[in-house]
Structure formats: C-alpha cells, structure tokens
Structure 1
Amino acid sequence: MRNITDLIEQYLKQMIRESAEGTVEIQRNELADKFSCVPSQINYVIATRFTLERGYLVESKRGGGGYIRIRKLELPACQPIHEHVLRTIGSRIDQSAAEGLIYQLAEAKLLNGREAQLLKAAVSRETLAVTLPLRDEIRARLLKAMLIALLVESSS
C-alpha cells in the first residue's frame, strides 16, 4: 500500500493532467481534510515533490482566501532538448538539481525508468567521492555526456 504522501502527489498530478492549462489551484486545508491529514503534510508533498527541478512552478497566496497554485512546466519544444540540458546543467550541478533534471526528463518520457536509475546512480555523491566543488563539476560533465548520448540516440 502506498503512503499518504504518494497518494497526495498522485492526486495533484492527476488534477494537473486533467487541467486544460496544466495548472491547479488548491486550498491547503481543504486538501488536508480530503486526505484526513494535517496541513503540514500538504506542505511537505508540495515542497518535496513539486519543485522547479522536477518541472513545477509553485505559487502561494496566504491569508483568508489563500491558495497554492501548481503549474507543470513543459520542456522547451521549440529548441533542441540537448540545448536545454546543456543550459540547465552549466559547468557544475549539485546532486539535488541533477536528480530533479533526470526526474523531469523521465516524466516527459525522454528517459525510461532504467535509464533514469542508472543516471542517478552515476551522479550520486557516493559514486563521485571527491570534494566540492570538483564533485559538482565532474557530475555536470558526466550528466551532460550521458544525457546527450541518450537523447540523441532516442531522437534518431
């Protein structure tokens, strides 16, 4: 059985998919009531599962009529995906941002599950056991090379 965090994440993603504009507005307390959980659980799901690195933009308005708006950002369609990858990674990238990019590409079906797992293993801090900032530079080089190879191969 899945935990409440996974259920809330899947519910929100389904709402976003069903939305014409790829955006959903929720009230934290109402969603907490729906799932019989505390509002901080909703905050946790949004903070960890709907990040910019994972391809989501979150806006919130506090107060009486407050809301949380979550919008799915699409990968650039008008430019080659490898340019997006190169620009996103830059000359160095930390593990969290690298995993977020991998997640975003997998969500967009540009990587399969196995490819995503292999990429995450290759760029983990345990695999790249060198000190910062060298680790982030090596991670960026590895990730760029592997993603370009995978994405060029899949588009051929």
Structure 2
Amino acid sequence: MANISELIERYIKNLLQESQGDSVELQRNELAAQFKCVPSQINYVLSTRFNTENGFIVESRRGGGGFIRIVKIPLEQHGDPAVQIYRLVGEEINQSQAENIIKRLAEEELITLREAQIFRAVVDRNSLRLELPWRDSLRANLLRVMLAAVFRES
C-alpha cells in the first residue's frame, strides 16, 4: 500500500493531467481534509515532490482565500533540455537531487525507464564509496556525462 505522501502526489499529478493548462489551484486545508492529514503533510509533499528539480513551481497565498497553485514546467518549453538539466546538476549534487532529476527525465520521456534504472545505479551512494564532498562532485560529473551521451544520440 502506498503511503500518504505518494497518494497526495498521485492525486495532484492526476489533477494536473486533467487540467486544461499546465497548472492547478488547490486549497491546502481542503486537500488535508480529503486525505485526513494535517496541512503540514501537504507542505511536505509540495516541498519534496513538487520542486524545481521535479519540474514544478509552487505558488501559495495564505489567508482566508488562500490557495496553492502548482505549475508544471515542461523542459521543452524553455530551450534545450540538455542545457537545462546540465545547469540543474551543477558541480555537486546529492543523491536525492540526482534521483529527482532522473525521475523527471523519465516522466518527460527524455530517457527510457531502463536508462533511468542505470542512472540511479550509477549515482547511488553505495556505488560511489567516497567521502563528502567528493562523492557529490563525482555524482554530478557522472550524471552530466551520462546525460551528454543520451542527448548526443537524440
């Protein structure tokens, strides 16, 4: 059974798919009531699963008429996806950030599911047996090299 964070994430992504545009507006309290959780659980899902690494912008307005607007940003709309991902990776990247980028690439169908599995295995901390910050630096370098190889073929 999926945990509450996964259920909330799936629900929001389904709303985004069904929406006419690339955004959806939600009420944090209504969403919390629907999933029988505290509003901070909604905040957690938004900050960990709907961030820029995952291709989203979250806007919120607090107060009585407050809302949360989640905007999906497809890579293709903003220039070369390879350049965008290269910038996201940077000179150092931790495992969680790398996995988010890999997940996004697979969701956007810029890499195959098999490529995503290979990418995850390569950037995993168990594969990179180095101390920090060397591990995050090597992970970023490996990810950039793999991405360059994939995008060069396209």
Provide the C-alpha distance between the structure 1 equivalents of 2:143 and 2:28, rounded to a whole number of angstroms.
Answer: 36
Unmatched tracts of structure 2, length 5 or more: none
Following TM superposition, the consecutive aligned residue runs of length 4 or more in structure 1 with deviations greater than 4 angstroms are: none
Query: Once structures 1 and 2 are overlaid, which stretch shifts more, 43-52 or 80-89?
Result: 80-89
2:49 match: 49
User: What pairs with 1:1-156 in structure 2 (closer than 5 Å)?
Assistant: 1-77=1-77, 79-153=79-153, 155=154
- Provide closer, same or farther for how the CA distance between residues 90 and 4 of structure 1 changes in structure 2, counting only shifts above 3 A: closer
Residues 106 and 90 from structure 1, CA distance in 2 versus in 1: closer, same or farther, beyond 3 angstroms?
Answer: same
Contact 1:76 1:84 in 2 (8 A): no
Q: Which runs of 5+ in 1 are unaligned?
A: none
Change (3 A) 1:24 1:133: same
The alignment yields a C-alpha RMSD, in angstroms, of 1.8
TM-score by length of 2: 0.87
Considering fraction of residues, name the structure with more helix. 2
Q: Identical aligned pairs, as a percentage?
A: 51
Q: CA deviation at 1:97?
A: 2.2
Contact 2:53–2:88 (CA<8 Å) still a contact in 1? no
For 1:140 and 1:113, the matched residues in 2 are separated by 20
User: TM-score, normalising length from structure 1?
Assistant: 0.86
Question: How far apart, CA to CA, are the structure 2 residues paired with 1:22 and 1:78?
Answer: 14
Judged with a 3 Å threshold, the aligned counterparts in structure 2 of structure 1 residues 87 and 3 are, in CA distance, closer, same or farther, namely: closer
SS in 2 for 1:141: helix
